[in-house]
């Protein structure tokens, strides 16, 4: 080994080894500007390594790391390290980007290729596991035209359409909107309302607790002040509002109708024979009345088609 500077080479400080008779090979050089080169005589940065890699092996929790830190008073240091049996209580071989100010792993690349954000142990079943109690996940946002212009979308691709205000998923053939906005009414085969839904039984609910639903329907189905009512669809058939078609005029959203039977006539057949009638002679200007009371009653208490009972619920 030879250590020394070279006035012939801008006074660089060299760490050399012999590579042959009378020949020296530069292994590390320190320039006057403070740049350090390993494997190169002309480092362009504070540390420049050519032809190899850095291997930092730790024997405790705090060594074997690369620390990045500002020079201000706060420092805001970040550590990059691998967790292994030798240097961490979590022997998973993960690569961690550690915020030394908050003492939390901001990003973890697990040894199974899963990624954790704000957690050091991403779930084995999650390729990306994001942990937060103060913020959410924002998927790519674009216009309808931009979404439709995506080249060769794969099945399962998801974007948020800012034109149509909805989350869209490509199913391999077409885009489907996965939104189910507050105020949507769905029918369920189970006996209780699922999570995120209220039974459409006319109940009064709080305007703050169910703010999204209140923004959608307001007091349309009753209520006032701090409470509003959901629709009461128990035992009801739902009919599309007319909105100018002229089939069911005078209706607005939320109004109900009692049962009705369209006006109609029936034929009343009569037959003579077997002594049913007796011949009677009357004058030319005479007449007589035949009294008919009614047909025999039949049927139930309402008019209805065949149907199946299901549970109507509204999304809140």
- Looking at the chain, how many residues does it have? 316
Express each pLDDT in 87-140 by its tens digit: 445 456 788 888 878 888 889 888 888 999 998 888 999 999 999 999 999 999
| Residues of the chain predicted below pLDDT 50 | 85-88, 90
Within this chain, do residues 172 and 201 fall inside the same structural domain, yes or no?
no
Which domain covers residue 107, as residue numbers? 65-130
173/189 same-domain check: no
Q: Which residues have CB under 8 Å from 295's CB, separation 6+?
A: 266
Contacts of residue 258, defined as CB under 8 A and 6 or more positions apart, other chains included, come to none
Contact 212, 245 (CB under 8 A): no
- Long-range CB pairs of 183-186 (<8 Å, 24+ gap) are 183/213, 183/216, 183/217, 183/314, 183/315, 184/314, 184/315, 185/231, 185/233, 185/238, 185/312, 185/313, 185/314, 185/315, 186/312, 186/313, 186/315
> For residues 82 and 88, what is the distance between their CA atoms, to the nearest angstrom?
8
Does 171 lie in the same domain as 221? no
Domain end: 110, 130, 150, which one?
130
Residue with tokens 């149509």: 164
| H or E element in which residue 211 lies | helix 211-217
Residues 77 and 38 in one domain: no
Residue keyed to tokens 């995506």: 150
Count structural domains, the chain: 4
Report yes or no on 275 lying in a domain.
no
Report pLDDT for 103.
Answer: 81
Q: Which long-range contacts (CB under 8 A, 24 or more apart) does 135-144 make?
A: 139/167
The answer to the question of residue 287 being in a domain is no
Closest CA to 315 of 241, 168, 210: 210
pTM over 0.75: no
What's the Cα-to-Cα distance from 308 to each of 180, 189, 236, 257, 311, rounded to whole Å? Answer: 24, 10, 12, 20, 10
- 263 lies in some domain: no
Say if residue 120 is in the same domain as residue 69: yes
Does 293 fall in a domain? no
Q: Identify whether 35 is part of a domain.
A: yes
pLDDT at 304: 86
Half-sphere exposure of 275 (CA within 13 A, CB side): 0
Cβ 59 vs Cβ 51: under 8 Å: no
The count of other CB atoms within 10 Å of the CB of residue 221 is 17
Same domain? 192 vs 151: no
Residues 35 and 89 in one domain: no
**Residue of 208, 225, 238 whose CA lies nearest to 314:** 238
């Amino acid at each position: 080994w030879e250590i020394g500077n070279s006035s012939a080479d801008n006074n660089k400080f060299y760490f050399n080894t012999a590579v042959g008779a009378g020949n020296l090979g530069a292994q590390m050089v320190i320039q006057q500007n403070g740049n350090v080169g390993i494997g190169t005589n002309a480092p362009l940065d504070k540390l420049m390594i050519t032809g190899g890699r850095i291997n930092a092996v730790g024997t405790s929790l705090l060594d074997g790391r690369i620390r990045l830190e500002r020079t201000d008073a706060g420092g805001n240091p970040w550590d990059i390290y691998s967790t292994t049996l030798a240097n961490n209580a979590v022997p998973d071989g993960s690569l961690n980007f550690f915020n030394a100010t908050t003492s939390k792993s901001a990003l973890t690349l697990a040894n199974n290729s899963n990624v954790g954000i704000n957690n050091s142990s991403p779930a084995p079943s999650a390729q990306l596991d994001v942990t937060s109690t103060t913020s959410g996940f924002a998927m790519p946002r674009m216009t309808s035209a931009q979404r439709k212009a995506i080249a060769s979308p794969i099945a399962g691709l998801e974007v948020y359409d800012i034109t149509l205000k909805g989350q869209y998923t490509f199913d391999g053939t077409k885009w489907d909107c996965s939104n189910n906005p507050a105020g949507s009414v769905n029918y369920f085969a189970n006996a209780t309302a699922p999570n995120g839904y209220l039974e459409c039984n006319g109940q009064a609910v709080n305007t703050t607790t169910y703010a999204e639903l209140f923004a959608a329907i307001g007091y349309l189905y009753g209520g006032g002040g701090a409470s509003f009512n959901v629709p009461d669809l128990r035992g009801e058939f739902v009919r599309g509002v007319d909105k100018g078609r002229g089939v069911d005029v005078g209706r607005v959203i939320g109004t109900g109708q009692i049962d009705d039977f369209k006006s109609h006539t029936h034929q009343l057949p009569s037959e003579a024979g077997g002594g049913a009638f007796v011949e009677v002679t009357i004058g030319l200007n005479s007449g007589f009345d035949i009294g008919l009371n009614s047909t025999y009653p039949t049927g139930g208490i309402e008019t209805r088609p065949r149907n199946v009972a299901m549970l109507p619920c509204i999304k809140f």
